[in-house]
Amino acid sequence: AQSVTQLDSHVSVSEGTPVLLRCNYSSSYSPSLFWYVQHPNKGLQLLLKYTSAATLVKGINGFEAEFKKSETSFHLTKPSAHMSDAAEYFCVVSEGGGSYIPTFGRGTSLIVHP
């Protein structure tokens, strides 16, 4: 069985400071992991994904995430927040083994202050 926990429902940062959004997962197989972003009143857009290649994954808009199997974590980071990063972020696990039914975290709302 698979599950995902986003450890913070809200994260507040100032523009220009680092961003850290935390995600822990559980999976019976070698999982694929994703981060999606949703801007207000919009659909979901893929930020980045891990699929058993490099453990440090780079995504769009300067975001990156590191897969840590020993900690079952896939935290999302960005060195310097921009006002346009304010959005809802979802961590998603898909455990593979022939199944393509992902499980979504409950989301983390990123608030960026000027």
Partner 1 sequence: NAGVTQTPKFRVLKTGQSMTLLCAQDMNHEYMYWYRQDPGMGLRLIHYSVGEGTTAKGEVPDGYNVSRLKKQNFLLGLESAAPSQTSVYFCASTKGTSGGSGNEQFFGPGTRLTVL
**Which range in 14-22, 57-65, 72-80, 105-113 contacts partner 1 by CB under 8 A?**
105-113
Cα 12–61–106 angle (5° rounding)? Answer: 50
Q: Distance (Å, rounded) from C-alpha 39 to C-alpha 87?
A: 5
Residue 73 binding partner 1, by CB under 8 A: no
Residue 71 CA: distances (Å) to CA of 33, 41, 63, 66, 68: 14, 34, 20, 11, 5
Q: Tell me the number of residues near partner 1 by CB under 8 A.
A: 22
Residue 44 binding partner 1, by CB under 8 A: yes
- Residues in contact with partner 1 by CB under 8 A are 9, 32, 34, 36, 42-46, 49, 51, 90, 92, 94, 96, 100-102, 104-107
